[in-house]
Structure 1
Amino acid sequence: MTEAQAEHLLSVAGESPIGLLGSTVDPSYFLSLHIDRHSAETLKAALLLLLESGSAGIEAKGIGRGLLEAVDDWIEAGGQYLGE
């Protein structure tokens, strides 16, 4: 999808009766992942290892805590396994 197409979709969504809002991001700077529950649990386990690591720096651990919170929130909110 081009940036112009994304902006058009946002405009149309914003004019809909429910007024959906959103924003575009440059994929050169942002990674968007659509992961299933198994992948989220694996990511959580890896982040926990990072946070327990003595070799991880303060910045890496801060970022790791933020990512862990987001993943954990999704899991706890009822993120389902595929096929449920």
Structure 2
Amino acid sequence: MVVTSDRESRRVTCREVTPLVTTTPDPLLTFPQAAEYLQHAVSERTLRRLVARGDLQALRIGDKLVRLRVSALENYLTRSEL
């Protein structure tokens, strides 16, 4: 919310402002967490294969650390259902 004031009339007005960045973060999951999030419909091994093939987006942190975004999992499921 932005508050502005008019000095001459001493009137204060308020208006809503849409944030540039969303306030709900997209959680990062490990492979076991991602499999659990998908209720084990897809195994950890399959998730790793999907990332290796480039079918599922992953965030690589350093040489070994890989995390999956919840939104990437949902996008993949949406694409695969079509």
With the shorter chain as reference, the TM-score category is under 0.3
